[in-house]
Structure 1
Amino acid sequence: MAEYSSTTMPEPDVSFVVPAKNEADYLRETLASIAALETDYAYEVVVVDGESTDETRAIAREYDATLIVGEGSSIAADRNRGAERASGEWLAFVDADTRVRPTYLTEMLGFVESNGLAAASSACRMTGPWRAKLVEATINHVFPRLEYPILPGFNVFVHRAAFEEVGGFPPVPNEDTAFSRRLARQLPTDYYPSVLVESSGRRIADDGLTGTLWHYATLDVERIRAST
């Protein structure tokens, strides 16, 4: 595994972990949004490249991110690999087509610490076709109310100790759903109610957060209704 880091930074409070495979069309905007954060907290960016053949690696270096050249076997494996390299007490997982608002870090860190949470996500805005807007509504209005809230993989803010306690992202389909449910069974998780990220709906238009994700959400909604 090759690794590159162009500067020596102070020990970060938060590590952003960004898996990326052939994401040159999106990654620059994602890294630019992280670079534009308005915060006094120290943070680092770890880009895990999944054997890209485009300019993904060059863009990561352009934004002074720590670059790990991985195997690209799965997004779960790349997220876990990035977490292993990261130095922060908190891990912020965002995808290569997700942009964070300037207040993201300050508000998320304040939210989890003031509420004693192990992990959280936030409301989001999805760009793209109408189907993405349906998923946006589900994430913003259904996922937070589930017995075990689903934290979508493109926007997961989790304490390192909690991440390690549950073994990271499992190597299964819809790994973020499985990770979220395993975590929430053991530790407190929640949603910050305001929109703090914007993500592309390109994958959702095909097969992204559907299938098993919708299945789990439906089961949880039915269980909540049955208990009231």
Structure 2
Amino acid sequence: MNHKPKISVIIPTYNEENNIKKTLIAIERQKCDIPYEIIIADGQSSDNTVFIAKKSAKVYISPKKGKAFQLNYVIPKTSGELLIFLDADMIINPYFFQKIYKIFKNHQNLYACSARVKYHNGKAISFKLASQRFTITQYFFLNINIHLYYLLKTLLGFPELSGCNMIVRRDIFLKTGGFKSPPNSLGIDKVFSDSLIYLIRKMKKGKIKTLSFVSVLTSGRNLNIKRSLKRISQYFSKKDIYYELAKKIN
């Protein structure tokens, strides 16, 4: 694109050869008149991730592995006023960028958001009711419950962004001090969300939220009950560490 990108799409990768192509294809199919750039923050992949990604995006090899470090490493190399962080297995619809940009343009008080997350590629479950056949996916109820979780967090005044898709204004991101990595890298999205909350309270303006009417698709590959429980347990046992990380804002 000839114009300076207004949107920077940033994807952290590490051995994502089986996922990244689909994500990049979905991005290339965007029906969007807003200039954007695609940035890959790779953690020294040993497979074909970089080879595949270079066909569609600018690829930067991070000198250190880890999602938080990789993302922070490429930020100075981006130029968009709006930063869209996506995981490497995300599928977005053709109007995603256009919708997101319009939302931020029309709501200057919105500092950051996540789109509604829907899990796909699970097993289909079919059943018959009153002579009609219905099909739901394996993750049908999970999709509902996860969305309710994020909405409830917002209503209670403790909004949390979804780690697989986070959209934030560039100037706001820089004021948070970027991503911080908690112990074992569990809860990077939680710490970043809390940093945003601290910033909003400090500035006495702004908000973050989960969008109900804009969604993204992601695989169920990272659905791991054991890891989720470990993250929750670690958060409550090391709340002071999470707190100190989150409040380090500029």
* TM-score bracket for the superposition, by shorter chain length: 0.7 to 0.9
Q: Distance in 1 between matches of 2:171 and 2:93?
A: 26
Call closer, same or farther: CA 1:80–1:9 in 2, change over 3 Å. Answer: farther
- Bigger Rg, which one: 2
Report what 2:128 is aligned to: none
Say which SS state the counterpart of residue 19 (structure 2) adopts: helix
Number of matched residues? 209
Report what 2:166 is aligned to: 156
User: Structure 1: which 5+ runs fail to align?
Assistant: 1-7, 217-228
- Give the CA RMSD over aligned residues: 2.5
- Normalising by structure 2, we get a TM-score of 0.76
- The offset of 1:34, in angstroms, is 0.7
Q: Distance in 1 between matches of 2:32 and 2:225?
A: 36
Call closer, same or farther: CA 1:207–1:99 in 2, change over 3 Å. Answer: farther
Report what 1:143 is aligned to: 150
Call closer, same or farther: CA 1:51–1:215 in 2, change over 3 Å. Answer: closer
Call closer, same or farther: CA 1:209–1:166 in 2, change over 3 Å. Answer: farther
Matching residue within 17, 21, 33 for 1:40: 33
Report what 2:194 is aligned to: 181
| Percent of pairs with identical residues | 26
Render the CA deviation track for 1:148-177: whole Å, top value 9, x for unaligned. Answer: 211112110100111110111111121111
Report what 2:12 is aligned to: 19
Deviates more, 1:43-52 or 1:65-74: 65-74
Q: Distance in 2 between matches of 1:107 and 1:139?
A: 22
Letter in 2 for 1:178: V
Alignment of 1:41-190 (within 5 A): 41-63=34-56, 65-115=57-107, 116-127=109-120, 136-146=143-153, 147-172=157-182, 173-187=186-200, 188-190=207-209
Deviates more, 1:48-57 or 1:109-118: 109-118
- The offset of 1:55, in angstroms, is 0.7
